[in-house]
Structure 1
Amino acid sequence: MPRPVDSHTSYVPAIDGLRTIAVLSVVAYHLDPAWLPGGYLGVGMFFTLSGYLITANLMRSHLRGKGLGLPTFWLRRFRRLVPAVVLMLVAVVLLTIFFDLPKLGETSGHALSALFYVNNWHVILEGQSYFDRFAGHAPLDHMWSLSVEEQFYLFWPLVLFVLLKLTRGKRKPLLISTLVLAALSFGWMAFLFNTGADATRVYEGTDTRAGGILLGAALAIALTKQRGYRIPPRALTIPASILGLVGIGLLFWLLPDYSPHLYNWGLIALSIATVAVIAAALDQRSLLSRFFALAPLRWIGERSYGIYLWHLPAIVFIPDWSVAHPILVTVISILLAAISWALVEDPIRRNGVVEPVKNWWAKRKSIGMPRLGLTVPATLMAAVVAMGIPAAWNDALGQEETPGSQQMGLKVGGGGPKKDTAAAAPAPNAPSSAAPSSAAPDPNQKGKTRCTTIIHVGDSTSIGMFSDDYVSDPSLNAQVTYKNVGAQEVVADVTGARSTVEALEGDPTILDSVNQLLQQGYGEDDCWVIGAGVNDAANRAVGGSGEEDWRVDQIMQVLGKAPVMWPTAKTNLDSGAYANANMAPFNEALLKARDRYPNLVVYDWAADARAEWFLEGDDVHYNTGGNEKRAEYFSKAIAKAFPADGSKPDKQIVAVDSQPTQ
């Protein structure tokens, strides 16, 4: 809450301190969720703070007999919010052009939706996932929350105007009406939430997130006076401050973003705790208020809007070279926010745009290029240089691609009906290409597979092994390595953010892709590799429906007697939904499924995979070396699973580089 321009507005320095806590928690969460699993809840704090501050301003205007002053209110919001956003969006688009040109179309779409403050609905309607860590961060992923706030700034004053008319301006019915609206929003959120499904619609929806903002608005309605505000009695504020701070701290530490409790009670608890702390902070004599009014906290809080705007582009464009990366990101974010505040945000919010431009035009001959003519380009240049130099240096050194570059779909083969199906069909009495031979083992076929067609259906962990962009040489692509062990045709259907039975809206699940391939003519004469399980295990870890055995059955039953190799799941994470410990139940289900499906071979990839093969900072996807090893080992594994020499794998478990799992 920057020091207000309006002299009638009561400034509470501690509110800026609360903003500091909120923004730093979000930055920490985006740098590494393991540091502060609930750091994303800082956005919820911002919502409640904004609901209080904006409604307090509107109510103060109403109580002074000037109505809500909506044109003036909206103009001030425009001055305060839009210039900094435009500056950041231009910088992000320029950086994308320079350093990530293939993403320009996607980034431009997000930028346009962010400019008009509809980014949250753009993300929802596009079926994108806020929680899909496989894609890594995109530079504008955080703009959804600013869209929610701006939509509130647009519509809430109109709703408040109607409520004031209906309640004849009486405080109590107005307060009750606002609390009812908040309760409806929270109830709608809980109703829409579906355990195990992607929660982006619930998390980013304006209707579902309005509850936290409205609780802040309710506090403003309860406490606002014509000048200033009512200070709650200390008998309430002291315990409120303690309980509120403890509650926020516990939620930050104990409520990760994948918890289903977030939508049942977590966001409600956060909003109530934030309301309690705001109420306590209004008593500027209190210890809490004096602490959060300390100059360093107040300084960061005044610039929290800019820090929030710049921190995610900084995370995305500044390469993660070393342990100093979080420090560099934080310093650059604060620096850019400070420059933006001093040169753009504060001058425009105080003086607007029109008058300074008129003055600049009138005085341009006498004073040369004045400050206003330099501020915007200077700030933009500072942003591009601050993030562009590390990115350019990273390109020059040829550093590893970021996880975000792997969010794509890849289909090689299998794009239509199976070619030459009739010509390729075996003679009536001939064995299928994948059928085991009854002849004696042929030593010349050792290390080869009898599978002439291999169909690999997988999630985003399989994308890198099939893409020349993520292996050091095209000869190490799985398309090649599968053929090196005897396959004549390789069909790859790999897409990010899906499990056996779940996917983002509009995208196929693993089961969908298998059925599509079966309809195209592939079937029991072909060998299948099912590269899925990581997302299934993570979804189950957060309470997703559909037990592991059932998920495996969905795939195996439609494949009939087709030879299937299914690798075990593995990550390099110690915490969160994708923690490696959460992979164990799915892997156990695969092992048990061998008793039900004699045609299933489980390759123990989890035993072979090494920590150094995972992308640093991602630890679910693989780096270049990991993609190459994955292609190599999967090819060797299928040669052991369905060998051309007629031998059979022991206990139907394949391990390439370690002892087989018993």
Structure 2
Amino acid sequence: MQQAHVQKKGKRLKNSRYISGFDGIRALAVVGVIIYHLLPYKLQGGYLGVPIFFVVSGYLITDLLLQEWEQNGRIDFWGFYARRLKRLYPALVFMLVGTGTYITLFQRSLLTNLRSIITTNLLYLYNWWEVGHGQSYFDRFNGESPFTHLWSLSIEGQYYLIWPLILIALVLIIRKRRTIAYLLFALAAVSAILMGVLYTGPNTLNRVYYGTDTRMFTIIFGALLAVVWPSTHLREKVTARSRWTLNIIGIVAFIAMVYMYFELAGQNTFTYRGGMFIMALASTALIAACAHPGSDINRWLTNPVFSWIGTRSYGIYLYQFPVMIFYEMRIKDIANHPLMHATIEIILIMIISELSYRYIEAPLRHYRYRNLGRSIYEFFQKDSVYGLKRLWVIPVVLLIGISTYGSAIAPTKDAKNVLQENILQNQTSASVQNKKALAKQKQAQKVADNKRRMKKLLNKKLTHKQYVIAKKYGLTKREFLTVHQQPLTAIGDSILADNSKDLQTVFHQAYVSAAVGRQIWQAGDVLKSLKKKGELAPNVLVNLGTNSPMTPAQIDSVVNAVGKHHKIFWVNCHVPTRNWETEVNHTIQGASKKYPNFYVIDWHGYSANRTSWFWGDNVHPNPQGNVHYTQLVAKQMSKHLKIK
């Protein structure tokens, strides 16, 4: 066990322990987060690394504060705040300035709200800004921001500011640790219950995911553990039975955490109604076992790799999103080699984190800011000891200047590009056409023998208008008439919104429900609502999978919402700029083998290498691509809707 003494305004904390296994726990947390962002279909619960960070932080900070109180009879609040700022602010400021500069120079599509984003992050209020302005943490395609992950740092900052004051109030007023522990557990339970109550579906996800009040129970669990399990009060010598009891607790907790890493999807209702609470309990148990000097968990979690990752985990967490997003915006074929690109991104993150740790975090963490005036004076002297190091001021000033300029010109609303304008126009047109389509569907339901009516239509010549439509979309007379009069409910994301006008031109009775950024877990409520109103057509077209990975269970949920008496036609995805394309399409294909009423429309295979069919993002079909998309859907559906 390594020993470490913590400097407290001229006095040292006696017997203070550096628990090296905590670096291993931090490594477990940050690796989970990184893998989740790079390969979300491999580790769908990796985002749960953040609650682990929260519990560790809650324990360490509370433990050190209580040690200082016990030894000195007081807490040096200003010293505490100064140490936190010196530890966290330099890298955060560098990340914000560096990212803002890159956006200003090379990625101006991300300039929107840059000023507000930087300001709220510097004030540690960004999580609440995200509640009102940000996108879902699980929306992996629709305008993903390089700053989204910083919400957790704001919660940490708020905790560092307020918790020392609350803790001392509790110690002075209540005094008994057991009573304080009961009170903390009650507060943690209230926070967890609040998360469950406020979460009522996808529309409230941002509120519960980013909210300080709904996430605070994880930090409180760490603080509670420090109250009842102080690191300096734990005996190193314990019986063999006690040692293995601690080991087993740690092992079981570790297994539970890894299991949730793989199984607890962020879109699962249980995640917010018990799942995160269980993860917090498991994390607390692992930390308790690791903190005890009588167990072996600390030794098992101590190794050079974990130590390196753990000590640099703050930087790794900070720089992950900018690296991933900027890299993925430049590379257009990520889906073809997801593991290769993920490896490259990890290497870039590690290199930047190491440089940040060596040249920003460590030096500024130990710098005595009381000497700042003297350092500035020395800097400008002719024979300055800084020598050529002074040249670093040039890129620093440039970075700050460019970032400030970007913040000054940043719009507060996204300017719509041609694709977005096209989608908006098509959505407006679809909403008008939807009313007509529903009326036609209801009228068709009143016809006693729809098959006989369709056979009559097939024997007639196409009108001039119908002939023009059929020719434009490359459909035979039979294919066109088979789908033209078929009732259809189409539900999807921006791909379908982009295509809605073309689809309703061919499918005269198509009701289209499409929204930019729609996720698969949002589809169930839409389908159930239509079904409840009797407006769900016998044929259902689904285009989901562009914005994030999906699981078989999520597809099962959509299929169950539709019902077995409806035919489901699922368009697989063409999203080569995202690493989940192949996995999503495999999942969709797997559902077709499971359900007899489930048919796959292979848009991915049909559009392969057809870059001329897409807008600049190589994901959304352009007008030419929409013609081919509609043609494929009509031809494939007509095969399964033959009128015998």
TM-score (norm 2): 0.71
**2:560 is the counterpart of 1:539:** no
Q: Matched residues in 1 for 2:281 and 2:194: separation?
A: 18
Kindly provide the CA deviation profile for residues 287-345 of structure 1, in whole angstroms up to 9, marking residues without a partner as x. 32112221221121111000000011111011344442111111111111111111111
In 1, Cα distance between the equivalents of 2:262 and 2:426? 46
Kindly indicate whether residue 362 of structure 2 is the aligned counterpart of residue 346 of structure 1.
Answer: yes
2:56 to 30, 49, 67: 49
Alignment of 1:21-100 (within 5 A): 21-100=28-107
Deviation per residue, 1:488-531 (Å, 9 max, x gap): xxxxxxxxxxxxxxxxxxxxxxxxxxxxxxxxxxxxxx976504
- Give, in whole Å, the separation in 2 of the partners of 1:267 and 1:371: 51
Aligned partners of 2:157, 2:207: CA distance in 1, in Å?
A: 18
In structure 2, how many angstroms separate the alpha carbons of the residues matched to 1:25 and 1:52?
20
Question: Aligned pair count?
Answer: 534
Residue 631 of structure 1 is matched in structure 2 by 626
Q: Does 1:441 align with 2:461?
A: yes
| SS across alignment from 2:639 | coil
Q: 2:531 & 2:388 partners in 1: Cα distance? A: 66
CA displacement at 1:533 relative to structure 2: 9.3
What residue number does 2:139 align with?
132
The alpha-carbon distance between structure 1 residues 183 and 280, as it changes in their structure 2 partners (threshold 3 A), is: same
Aligned-residue offset at 1:382: 11
Secondary structure at the residue paired with 1:411? helix
User: RMSD across aligned C-alpha pairs, in angstroms?
Assistant: 4.5
In the superposition, relative to structure 1, how do residues 556 and 81 fare at CA in structure 2: closer, same or farther (>3 Å)?
same
* Cα drift, residue 117 of structure 1: 1.2
**2:353 is matched with which residue: 337, 356, 364?**
337
In the TM superposition, what is the alpha-carbon distance from 1:104 to its structure 2 partner?
A: 0.3
Aligned partner of 1:517 in structure 2 is none
Matched, 1:551 2:530: yes
Alpha-carbon distance in structure 2 between the residues aligned to 1:380 and 1:331 = 28
| 1:282 to partner: Cα distance | 2.0
Contact 1:344 1:375 in 2 (8 A): no
Aligned residue in 2 for 1:290: 299
State the alpha-carbon separation in 1 of the partners of residues 513 and 101 from structure 2.
Answer: 37
Give the CA deviation at 1:158.
1.9
1:412 partnered with 2:425: yes
Change (3 A) 1:589 1:94: farther
Q: CA deviation at 1:553?
A: 5.5
CA distance in 2, matches of 1:405, 1:72: 54
1:655 aligns to 2:604 (yes or no): no
Q: Distance in 2 between matches of 1:295 and 1:289?
A: 13
Structure 2 match to 1:105? 112
TM superposition shift of 1:441: 2.1
What's 1:186 paired with? 192
Contact 1:549 1:593 (8 Å CA) reproduced: no
CA contact (8 A) 1:530 1:567 kept: no
Shift of 1:630: 5.5
Deviation at 1:103, TM superposition (A): 2.0
1:440 & 1:313 partners in 2: Cα distance? 60
Per the alignment, residue 245 of structure 1 pairs with: 254
Seen in structure 2, the aligned counterparts of structure 1 residues 409 and 630 have a Cα distance that, compared at 3 Å, is closer
Q: Which amino acid aligns with 1:182?
A: A
Question: Offset of 1:266 from its aligned partner?
Answer: 1.6
Structure 2 gaps of 5+ residues are: 401-416, 433-453, 471-480, 570-597
Q: Is the 8 A contact 2:378 2:385 kept in 1?
A: no
> Which residue type is aligned with residue 36 of structure 2?
Y
* Mapping 1:273-312, distance limit 5 Å: 273-284=282-293, 286-312=295-321
Q: Is the aligned partner of 1:216 residue 2:211?
A: no
2:158 aligned partner: 151
Report the equivalent of 1:642: none
| CA displacement, residues 386-418 of structure 1 (integer Å, 9 cap, x when unaligned) | xxxxxxxxxxxxxxxxxx9989994227879x9
Which residue identity is paired with 2:640?
P
Q: Which amino acid aligns with 1:462?
A: I
Taking structure 1 as reference, are residues 342 and 592 closer, same or farther at Cα in structure 2, changes over 3 Å only?
A: closer
Deviation at 1:465, TM superposition (A): 3.6
Q: Is the 8 A contact 2:603 2:632 kept in 1?
A: no
Structure-2 change in CA distance of 1:150 and 1:335 (3 Å): same
Structure-1 separation of matches of 2:418 and 2:100:
17
Amino acid at match of 2:521: N
* Partners of 2:250 and 2:286 within 8 A in 1: yes
Residue 257 of structure 1 aligns to which amino acid in structure 2?
A: G
More helix by share: 2
Quick one: which amino acid aligns to residue 461 of structure 2? P
State the partner residue of 1:202.
208
Q: Which residue matches 1:176?
A: 182
The answer to whether the 8 Å contact 2:540/2:568 transfers is: no
CA distance in structure 1 between the partners assigned to 2:383 and 2:566 by the alignment: 82
Paired letter, 2:178: K
Inter-CA distance 580–190: structure 2 relative to 1 (3 Å threshold): closer
- Aligned-pair CA distance for 1:569: 3.6
Q: Does 1:324 align with 2:304?
A: no
Out of 241, 263, 267, the position equivalent to 1:258 is 267
Q: Which amino acid aligns with 2:495?
A: S
- CA deviations over 1:523-572 (Å, ceiling 9, x no partner): xxx9765044999883378xx657x3542455949xxxxx9996344548
- Counterpart of 1:649? none
Higher mean C-alpha displacement, 14-23 vs 105-114: 105-114
Is the aligned partner of 1:530 residue 2:537?
no
The offset of 1:459, in angstroms, is: 5.3
C-alpha distance in 2 between matches for 1:222 and 1:405: 60
TM-score (norm 1): 0.69
Q: Which position in structure 2 is the counterpart of 1:365?
A: 382
Q: Does the CA-based 8 Å contact 1:196-1:545 persist in structure 2?
A: no
Query: Aligned in 2, Cα 1:252/1:549: closer, same or farther, shift over 3 Å?
Result: closer
Q: Give the corresponding residue for 1:493.
A: none
Matches within 5 A, 1:495-534: 529-532=511-514
Letter paired with 1:250: Y
Query: Any unmatched runs of 5+ in structure 1?
Result: 384-403, 420-435, 467-477, 488-525, 558-562, 595-603, 639-653
Q: Is the 8 A contact 1:568 1:590 kept in 2?
A: no
Task: Give how far 1:236 is off.
Answer: 3.8
**Structure 1 residues 283, 588: closer, same or farther in 2, change over 3 A?**
closer
Distance 1:246 1:578, change over 3 A: closer
Residues 59-107 of structure 1 deviation map (CA, whole Å, 9 limit, x = unaligned): 1111113422211111111111111111001111111112221220234
Deviation at 1:185, TM superposition (A): 1.1
Q: Residue 648 of structure 1 aligns with which residue?
A: none
Paired with 1:579 and 1:586, the residues of 2 have a C-alpha distance of 11
| Residue matched to 1:646 | none
Which amino acid is 1:350 matched to?
H
- CA gap of 1:578–1:613, structure 2 versus 1, over 3 A, is farther
Q: Secondary structure at the match of 2:61?
A: helix
Q: For residues 235-259 of structure 1, give each alpha carbon's deviation from its aligned partner in whole angstroms, at most 9, with x where no partner exists.
A: 5422221111111111112212122
Provide the rounded CA distance (Å) in 1 between the counterparts of 2:397 and 2:283: 35
Counterpart-to-counterpart distance in 2, 1:222 and 1:576: 40
Deviation at 1:194, TM superposition (A): 1.6
The amino acid of 1:343's aligned partner reads Y
CA distance in 1, matches of 2:146, 2:212: 21
SS of the residue corresponding to residue 167 of structure 2 reads: helix
Alpha-carbon distance in 2 for matches of 1:459, 1:380: 47
Equivalent position SS for 2:512: strand
